[in-house]
Structure formats: structure tokens, C-alpha cells
Amino acid sequence: MLEVLGLTAAATGVYRAMLDHPGYDVDDIATHCGLTPAQVHDHLDELSRLTLIRVSAERPGRMRAVSPEIGLAGILASQEADLAARQAQLASSRAAVTRMVAERAEQRTTHGERLLGMDAIHSRLERMGHSATTEILSSQPGNQRPEDLVASRPADTEALGRGITMRTLYQDATRNQPHVANYAHWLLSQGSEVRTVPAIPQRLVLVDRTQALVPIDPADNRKGALYVTEPGILAALLDLFEQAWNTAVPLGAARPEDPRTSLTPTERDLLRLLSSGLTDDAAGQRLGISSRTVGRHMSSIMERLGASSRFEAGIKAAHKGWL
């Protein structure tokens, strides 16, 4: 149960035994948990590193369990701080990649090529998939057109059949889009990895870390794409993908609410986007949801905050540390 917090199952059992039976010594805990005393000592070291146990003031040489309200809350706070730092790094990387791609978008050299029209894009994707030798990474923000998914399946089938590793990143909103969800589950059934995240910084396909395809216009990928092989841009795109991947949730797993704020990741990102000055339409487009859904999320947040207006909700959210 506590493995998601970095605690092994055996150490969890030792921690529970210490909570339920404060008077137990090492031998008692070993008997209760079906472990050897040496194993118990190893797990006590693990619990101590996570500050879930402390030296007992009443029984010299013994340890006592820290209450879950304090010990586990501290672990959660540490993980939340790490996540916030990764998200800040992701935002910085997004800006850097956007600038770099913009600088190169107007150039056509031996390291890049502009592709205009969906036929040219699909043709290039087919060639990239056919030439792949190790992995294909892709991030797909927003809704996916059914015809684009149909066009992608032959190349994906061929690559997966050759044992190519595939990792695909979708937005959380696509879980509610049947045709995308069906395609994502098909990818899973073929051995691919699929995760979702509230907001994806950039649409891209990255093959073998040596070639990539990104849209010329992030707001409309059908206008064309830029085929890139320059190492500097590829390294930045790869870093951007990995940061987003590390904060994403595997398809099929529930994305939990923030225990401190009761906000879902989508609600938290929505508050951040709206507070930065984006309109409902712009924020919804970034998150892959409609402006009507944005309105529903904001109504729910205002109700929880006891706010009668968005302005008041923004003030209260900032005061509570939600922004």
C-alpha cells in the first residue's frame, strides 16, 4: 500500500507492527512479521531514512513509530516538492525548445526539412518508423483525428513487430475520447508503453534519438512539420519528452487528487494557466478540453473555495498556496 511512497512491503509490515504494538522489541516484530531479526534491523534502517521511526525516550536502545499523520505527510510533502521542481524545469525546457525550434523553422539545411501537408507528414513518419532500430517516442497533445490514427497504425504495427520500443504520451483528456483511448489500449496490447499527463508541452515524434518531427505551427499540426536531425535540437526535445514522461501516469491508472488541496492535476494546471492570463479557450486548448469543461472545473473550484467570482477564487487560491 505504501510502496508508492518509496517503502517496501516488508518495511510497511514492520511499521504497522510498531504502530499496533508499541511495546514490541526486535524479536517480537520478527515473529509477528515472519522475518529474521537481521531483516527487521534492515527495515528499521529503511524506516529511519524516511523518518518514520525515531529513538524512544522511554526505552533506551529501542525505536518508536512516528504517527502516520506526521511521518507519511512529510514524505508526501517531499514528493510534492520534487514534482513541483520537475514541473518548473519542464516549463523552462518548454520555453527553450519553443525558441530553438522557432529559430530553425525558417531554415532548410542538411539537418532539417519543412514538410507541407498531411501526405508529406505521413510519408515522412512512415520512413522514420521503417528506419527505426531501437525506439520511437511521441507526445500527442489535444484531440487526435480518427483518420490520423488510422494512417498511423500500419507504421506502428510494422515497428512493434520488429521489437521497436515505443513510448507514447497523451493528454489526460484523451481518456474520455473513445477512438483515442481504443488506439492507446491497442498500443498497450502490442507491448508499447502509454502514459497521460494534464498538459503536453509539444507535439513530437522522436526516432532513435537521431531524427524528430515537430509541427511548424503548434496550434495546427496539419499546416506542416519540421523534420529535424540536428543534435542540439534533438537533445532538447528528448529532455522535454523525458520530463513530461516522468510526471505522467500510466494509462489505466487513476491520477490521484492532491491530498493537500483536493485538486486534480488538471484542475491545478487549469488554475495556473488562467492565473497567467490565458482565456478559457486558450487554457482549454492547452489541456485538450473544451471551454465548457473549463467552466465546469472552475465552478467546482470556486465552490470549494467559497468564492463568488473568479477574481475572489484567484485571491483565495493564492492565499491557500494553490498557485
pLDDT in tens, 250-293: 876 555 545 555 677 777 777 777 777 778 777 777 776 777 77
Angle (nearest 5°) at CA 179 between 98 and 167: 50
Contacts 24+ apart (CB under 8 A), 13-17: 14/40, 14/43, 14/44, 14/47, 15/47, 15/52, 15/53, 15/65
Half-sphere CA count of 312, side-chain side, radius 13 A: 9
Q: Give the helix, strand, coil percentages of the chain, each rounded to 5.
A: 55, 15, 30
Query: Is 208 in contact with 178 (CB distance < 8 Å)?
Result: no
Instruction: Write the CATH number for 101.
Output: 3.30.870.10
Helix orientation angle between 9-20 and 37-49, rounded to the nearest 10 degrees: 90
Do 124 and 182 share a structural domain?
yes
Is residue 182 in some structural domain?
yes
Domain count, the chain: 3
Is residue 258 in some structural domain?
no
Do 270 and 213 share a structural domain?
no
Predicted local distance difference test score (pLDDT) of residue 109: 46
Predicted local distance difference test score (pLDDT) of residue 306: 73
Do 235 and 145 share a structural domain?
yes
Half-sphere CA count of 255, side-chain side, radius 13 A: 19
**How do beta strands 204-207 and 135-140 pair?**
antiparallel
Predicted local distance difference test score (pLDDT) of residue 64: 82
Do 208 and 150 share a structural domain?
yes
Predicted local distance difference test score (pLDDT) of residue 46: 80
Phi/psi region, residue 13 (left: phi>0; alpha: psi -120 to 50; beta: rest), is alpha
Do 84 and 7 share a structural domain?
no
Domain that holds residue 142: 75-250
| Residue 101 pLDDT > 70 | no
Alpha-carbon gap, residue 214 to 253, rounded angstroms = 28
Half-sphere CA count of 53, side-chain side, radius 13 A: 27
Q: pLDDT class for 6, splitting at 50, 70, 90?
A: low
Do 163 and 46 share a structural domain?
no
User: Maximum CA pair distance of the chain?
Assistant: 76
Do 193 and 118 share a structural domain?
yes
Instruction: Write the CATH number for 19.
Output: 1.10.10.10
